[in-house]
Structure 1
Amino acid sequence: MEQPTYRLGCDIGGTFTDFVLVNNQTGQFHTNKCLTTPSDPSNAIEQGIRELDEILPGFMDNVEEIIHGTTLVINAIIERKGARTGLITTKGFRDILELGREKRYDAYDIFSEYPEPIVPRPDRAEIDERLTFDGRVLKDVDEKEVIQVLEKFKKDGIESIAVCFINSYENFVNEKRVKQIIEKHASDMFLSTSFEVLPEIKEYERTCTTAVNAYVKPITFWYLNKLINRLETIGFNGKFFIMLSSGGITSIETAKDFPVRIIESGPTAAVIASQHYGKMFNIKDMFCFDMGGTTAKSCLIQDGHAGLVSTFEVGRVQRFQKGSGLPIQVPVVDLMEIGAGGGSIAKISNLGLLQVGPESAGADPGPACYKQGGDNPTVTDADLVLGYLDPDFFLGGTMALDIELSKQAIEEKIARPLGTTMVEAAFGIHDLINETMASAAKTHIAEKGGNPNIVTVSAFGGAGPVHTYGLAKKIGAGSILVPPLAGVGSALGFFTAPVAFDLSRSHRKKLDEADFKEIELLFNELEHESAKILKGAQSGDKIIYERTLLMRFVGQGAEIDLSIEIKDFTKFSKAEIRTMFDEEYKRLYGRTSAESPVEFVTFKVRASLPKKPFTISKLSTQNRDLQACIKGQRPAFSVIKKDYIPFTVYDRSKLFAKAQFKGPAIIEERESTIVMGEDATARVDDFGFIWIKLAQSGGPDQVGGANNE
């Protein structure tokens, strides 16, 4: 009998590490969850794999691919645990990291704070070189000057170097020369150059992104090497991929070179899975809601596509204030992330009011009910007290919870100070975190031109299905979709992502003066470079290219994206490009200025390989007895009656196609728990997706089980 082959998805979150193993021949899934080990995340990965091995002995010998998502990079930036980094820049530009854009994110706050530069001023050095705005060399690099800088860096204990010169996006010659000198005289140091990391306009963003890449490069290198070695010792000899922030996956070598590209590695995967399901069921407006132990992530997916943005911020001093963080200019899925998860800590604020998050108990010590020494009440503790979670069936019964510890923490730290009952305090925690997430969700949907009343909310994460019903009611959504294995949705989402990579290059030219032959050569260079990166990850498949133009009116500071056909650029006319620009600008802003000149700013190429989609098997139609799916009843808190009422508890693994039932209900599976109130009805489709409809809602009545692609 032929041995089955497998693909393994592994997602490291702030509280739990999730695993999904798929059989390539049968499509059968095996899942696992274990607590994350913050001190060394590879410990949790090995533990989880060994637990899977108890179910399928020796499966690692037949794993063809492991796809991994991690929060290592973003945590290192936020916690400032990266390597000591040195910056080499053009003479006169040493302070670019402090100067930034010279904008105040709050014009009326004289005490506003800004993040400390990722490279302190003493660790920045200037080189007397210079290029003009159009790339002409005014002053070459002096090798002796570079060597002097390297000697100082070595003496100061610098581990990683970032090189970013003014205007180098137009001409790489001086940065390349410095790279050669560093490789010759300081080959033991890690190196990041802006012409390789981000050859784009905007000096501050380019310098900051290159410096961040250098800052996290050593820890990413050592972590990935250690992880691969551990995997090899337990039998893995296949290919290893990392999830990119842009929604594709890439090789371990590329992730080591460009760790800044995997900042949002884990959170992106659930969005890509939701995008896949949106196309599968032809849902026009899908709102992906992924709530784990530490954070909640969400994204509006319109017409089957999640938007990409080219700039985002990390490590904000003020969580919701744009401009208060470090700008990172790399492609990333346009998602919203807030500090709201199962481990979010509830406390009394300085004003004497209930506050939940953004601080999290994480995996260690975790919520009070984990019995690991944590004494702060969390969202998970509140959900347990409210009856939404079964203390004897958490993680399928492999991790017992102590409800008495939850009651004690909520009573002592919330109920007594507020002068209320323990149950009211527990519901206050649950409802407040829902309100926080709903407010952020409505803002995000509105910014994207969506309508919360017509979206279908897709639930992911260990805590997502518990809170999606409450979230949907607050934003006015009428439909909820809970896919199979929702509790490990990010790990499953890895299988829907293609091997892909995005490259860009800035080259400012007015449309009227542009040479389209020159632009075609530039696109060809980007496609050639991206092909080399993809072939290093996987060879033999046809590469799919997508081209994008970033254009603006001359004098503007922001660009709009124009996706164009893949054809010889010289076949376009300038009138065609201008028409495309005006139409897109008018769609975004309601009007355009046909008389004003426009210019090209940046050219982008996305190269990807064909997807290897998984197949979801149809549910059995033999069992049609709904009573056989019921585990029993337990009292849980009703958000409508504000009291405990009997909830029917269903075993999701026993639910059959076309099964229908009304709330109040709790649907349990190993990875997560679905909660729905008495005003909701649920239906199971042919593939095990659960569709929940809220009464008297304006939401669409979606039909599940459309296409299984």
Structure 2
Amino acid sequence: MSELSAKSEVPAFRIAADIGGTFTDVALLAPNGTLSTAKVPSTPDDYARGVLDGCREILSRDGISPGSLAEVLHASTVATNAILEGKGARTALVTTEGFRDVLEMRRIRVPRLYEPLYRKPAPLVARRFRYEVRERIGPRGEVLVALDEAGLERIAEAIAEAGIEAVAICFLHSYANPAHERRAGQILRQKLPGRFVTLSVDVLPEIREYERTSTTVINAYVAPPVGSYLRSLRKRLDGVGISAPLFMMQSSGGILDLESVLQRPAQVVESGPAAGVIGAGYVGRLAGYANIIALDVGGTTAKASVIENGRHLTTDEYEVGGGISLSSRLVKGGGYALRLPVIDVCEVGTGGGSIIRLNAAGNISIGPQSAGATPGPVCYGRGGNLPTVTDANVVLGYLNPEAIADGVVPIHAAAARDALQRQLADPLCRPVEDIAYGVVGIANALMARAVRSVTTSRGRDPRKFILFAFGGGGGLHAVDLAASLGIGCVVVPPAAGVFSAFGLLFSDIEFTQSQGMLIPLDAAQPARVAAAFETIEQEVLHRLARPPDSIRLRRRVDLRYAGQAFELTVDLPEGLLDADALDRLSDAFDAEHYRTYGHSLPRSHGREIVALRVVGTVIAERPEAKAVADGGGTAANNTATRRAYFGEHGWLETPVVGRGRLARPVLGPLIVEEADSTTIVPPGWLASLDARRNIVIEHQAE
């Protein structure tokens, strides 16, 4: 049974779908813990169609009626894509007089220091659609200038004439007193029926005008496309008899019901990457791995995140849309600030479908452009003519030369080799296998950048972690990547190729609420802080709409040293909130600051509370997942061999086996081939299975 206490109803069948750039993965969990999976091509013209295709396939194959499903869980990049592709709603911003250009000024940072002609991404709201209204709230919540309601009504008329679809309202210091924003919301909703109107006090009631404005604008910008997609998906699920509630993965790692997502869609901007991290944490706990670097290599991107002492790390310092999606206190200004809880994930545009080109200097360049699901890599035979990382893996003999994805995707190995030969090897006058091996090495170096962003850049030593690899390409790249980082152990879980869908099945319903409170820690009155927490907790309980005894509440505090511009978030010690608890909170902050930055300051230096946070999690009982039966791939039951290229070792006749063959340790070189993924074990590494049927690959000392 699950580690969590049984509080809520035990679900029947639960199904999860994760949309990737190349494939849509579906996983089904039965009441007895049996896990079934399916992998179908993504459908970029209509992503919902791919979700339905996967659901129908798995239900039909397992003989389960659509009405037997208790929950449908979903992770999607629809919000992210709206930002990256500039296809969000036509959005207006209504703000305090004098603050029209906050989105332009940002933080006055340039992320590319040696690029004098660098131009920031255009704001999501054009200047002509940013409207100023006369009003003013002071930092302590005092009304300095009354709200000009007549002016607001004129703004509503202008918004209607401009054909605006969504409106973001963000007034100065509204976190201290929301009255003006609330009233403005009432007026605009009345004057603009049918349009999405969102308030910063509902999205991010905290200090920092740019981050608060940007986050509120993102919420408005993605709301119509996210709403259109999710309502369409809901309707189509109903049409095939799947009437179970629909839940969406949040960027923070929890899931949220459909209606809540429709009101706060900014919370699902990084929906997809979060699911795999949750799955890695779940499997890691069961298998006894406390410190994990989760590596998810998909068709379009590679993502890295850290699980430390069994808990994933979260941040609210995040930018999206700047070419690389990452959380960083140092690299700023390349994207749009999203200050909401996000699992600390770094994502780079290097996946199986990433296109390989020669740049202007004649060097090999990989991504971020991807061949995607259509036309896909050259080896898929769907019309793609630009070589990709997947094509390089085919040339090296790592991937099955006949078909992958349990036979769903035929492989045209000769076409892949020809594309690399003509477009890369011939111009560089090098053997095609050397070029392919070099491509994989460059891809690994780019993935290492993502790993370092969440480890060494966070004060963590990657050598003290295991590398937990999943996604369709995780097992292909993990061992060489681990070697480059000094990591001695790689773990590849069952169902690695559909692991993000698996992670959805073990995500908890969760809601986070924050409230700004800028006060010196030494001057904080425990009773006042406790009362503020209780108010936030009531909001969380209201949003989750479940009995209080079925919800676990976690109190967190944003702290900084006096004079600092940014803060760190730490858990409030459990128990009575008194002076001693605040003293221990200071110690926890010092420890986190030391771990992150390598130093802390003496007690004589002041500390400040910046914001309070409450995370509410619904406690649910779930069956423990049983490993997917070994199957698929040409070598599931019989040992075969295939020539594979291993750099300095050259071409080696390499055993190709199924996971079950690793019941006894096997020394590389080795190819472990499964229905949804392939794992490469180079020479000098030993592969075996642990008690949870995870593949464990360890470096052997020479």
TM-score, reference length from structure 1? 0.92
Name 2:684's counterpart in structure 1. 679
**Aligned position for 2:566:** 558
Which amino acid in the other structure matches residue 10 of structure 1?
Answer: A
CA-CA distance at 1:555 after TM superposition: 3.0
Cα drift, residue 318 of structure 1: 7.4
Cα distance, 1:18–1:508 mapped onto 2, change above 3 Å: same
CA contact (8 A) 1:287 1:299 kept: yes
Q: Encode CA deviations 1:641-693: one digit per residue, 9 max, x unaligned.
A: 1x2211111123x447x432222211111111111112122112333211111
Q: Distance in 1 between matches of 2:324 and 2:691?
A: 46
Displacement of 1:43 in angstroms is 0.9
Answer yes or no: is the 8 Å Cα contact 1:4–1:62 preserved in 2: no
Separation in 1, partners of 2:671, 2:584: 56
Deviations 1:124-166 (A, max 9, x none): 0000000011111112222221111111111111000000000
Partner of 1:508: 518
Please, which of 7, 10, 20 is the counterpart of residue 14 of structure 2? 7
Give the C-alpha shift of residue 611 in structure 1.
Answer: 4.1
1:387 and 2:397 aligned: yes
Contact 2:636/2:674 (<8 A) preserved: no
Is the counterpart of residue 40 in structure 1 residue 49 in structure 2? Answer: no
What's 2:26 paired with? 19
Q: State the alpha-carbon separation in 1 of the partners of residues 99 and 156 from structure 2.
A: 18
Match of 1:603 in 2: 612
Q: What is the CA-CA distance between 1:106 and the residue it aligns to? A: 4.2
Which residue identity lines up with residue 272 of structure 1 in the other structure? I
Query: Which residue, 592, 600, 603 being the options, matches 1:594?
Result: 603
2 CA distance for matches of 1:280 and 1:559? 33
Structure 1 residues without counterparts, runs of 5 or longer: 622-626, 698-709
How big is each residue's C-alpha offset from its partner over 1:72-117, in whole Å with a ceiling of 9 and x where there is no partner?
1111101110000000000000001001122333455421221110
Distance 1:455 1:135 in 2: 46
1:617 and 2:623 matched: no
**Coordinate RMSD, CA, aligned:** 2.3
Q: Structure 1 residues 63 and 106 mapped into 2: Cα distance closer, same or farther (>3 Å)? A: same
The structure, 1 or 2, with the larger RCO (C-alpha pairs under 8 Å, 6+ apart) is 2
- In the aligned structure 2, how far is the partner of 1:202 from the partner of 1:631? 60
> Aligned residue pairs: how many?
684
When residues 689 and 581 of structure 1 are mapped into structure 2, their CA distance, relative to the original with a 3 A threshold, is closer
- Looking at structure 2, the residues matched to 579 and 287 of structure 1 have their Cα atoms a distance apart, in angstroms, of 27
Task: Determine whether 1:204 maps to 2:228.
Answer: no
Between 523-532 and 604-613, the greater mean CA deviation after superposition: 604-613
Identity %, equivalent residues = 34
1:223-242 to 2 correspondences below 5 Å: 223-242=229-248
Asked whether the 8 Å contact 1:506–1:602 carries over to 2, the reply is: yes
Provide closer, same or farther for how the CA distance between residues 519 and 638 of structure 1 changes in structure 2, counting only shifts above 3 A.
Answer: same
- For each residue in 1:327-368, what CA deviation from the matched residue of structure 2 results, as whole angstroms up to 9, or x when unmatched? 110000111110110001011011011111121111111101
- Tell me whether 1:636 sits opposite 2:644 in the alignment: yes
- Counterparts of residues 66-85 of structure 1 (less than 5 Å): 66-85=72-91
Residue in 2 that maps onto 1:191? 197
Q: CA deviation at 1:118?
A: 0.7
How many angstroms does 1:219 deviate by? 0.8
Which amino acid letter does the alignment assign opposite residue 600 of structure 1?
A: I
In the alignment, what sits opposite 1:700?
Answer: none
Change (3 A) 1:203 1:480: same
- Relative distance call for 1:677 and 1:163 in structure 2 (3 A) is same
Task: Find the residue that maps to 1:187 and give its secondary structure.
Answer: coil
Please give the alpha-carbon distance, in whole angstroms, between the structure 1 residues aligned to 2:250 and 2:582: 35
Give the distance between the partners of 1:172 and 1:429, measured in 2 at CA: 54
Preserved CA contact (<8 Å) 2:23 2:41: yes
Query: 2:142 matched to 1:136?
Result: yes
Partner residue, 1:153: 159
> How many Å apart are 1:540 and its aligned residue?
8.0
Q: Mapping of 1:413-424 within 5 angstroms?
A: 413-424=423-434
Residues 423-572 of structure 1 correspond to what in structure 2 (within 5 A)?
Answer: 423-535=433-545, 542-570=550-578, 572=580
* Distance in 1 of aligned mates of 2:627 and 2:239: 36
Amino acid at match of 2:422: E
Say if 1:577 and 1:647 are closer, same or farther in 2 by CA, change over 3 A. Answer: closer
* Deviation of 1:60 (Å): 1.7
Deviation readout 1:34-53 (Å, 9 max, x if unpaired):
11111211011111122223
3-state secondary structure, aligned to 2:554 = strand
Identify which range, 6-15 or 572-581, moves more after superposition.
572-581
Q: Report if aligned partners of 1:498, 1:612 keep a CA contact under 8 Å in 2.
A: no
Output one character per residue of 1:419-468: Cα deviation in whole Å (capped at 9) or x when no partner. Answer: 12222222222222112212442453212333333321111101111111
Query: Is 1:244–2:250 an aligned residue pair?
Result: yes
Aligned to 1:300, the other structure's residue is in SS state: strand
Matched residues in 2 for 1:462 and 1:234: separation?
29
8 Å Cα contact 2:573/2:581 also seen in 1: no
Q: CA-to-partner distance for each residue in 1:562-586, whole Å, 9 max, x for gaps?
A: 3113445356566555555455545
Closer, same or farther in 2 for the Cα pair 1:564/1:354, shift >3 Å? same
- Partners of 2:11 and 2:341 in 1: how far apart? 36
CA drift at 1:606: 0.5
TM-score normalised by length of structure 2: 0.93
**1:372 aligns to what SS in structure 2?**
coil
Kindly state the Cα deviation for residue 613 of structure 1 after the two structures are TM-superposed.
Answer: 4.1
Matched to 1:598, the amino acid is: R
How much does 1:479 deviate? 0.9
One-letter identity of the residue aligned with 1:12: I
The corresponding residue for 1:347 is: 357
Q: What is the one-letter code of the residue matched to 1:450? A: R
Are 1:96 and 2:102 an aligned pair? yes
Deviation per residue, 1:374-427 (Å, 9 max, x gap): 100001111111111113231111221111221221112111111122222222
Name the amino acid aligned to 1:659: R
Task: Tell me, in whole angstroms, the C-alpha distance in 2 between the residues paired with 1:583 and 1:33.
Answer: 44
Aligned position for 1:693:
698
Among candidates 652, 662, 665, match of residue 660 of structure 1: 665
Tell me if structure 2 keeps the 8 A contact 1:465–1:482: yes
1:284 CA displacement: 3.9
The SS at the match of 1:14 is: coil
Where does 1:297-336 land on structure 2 (aligned, <5 Å)? Answer: 297-316=303-322, 321-336=331-346
Shift, 1:597, TM fit: 2.8
**C-alpha spacing 1:59/1:661, structure 2 compared with 1 (3 Å):** farther
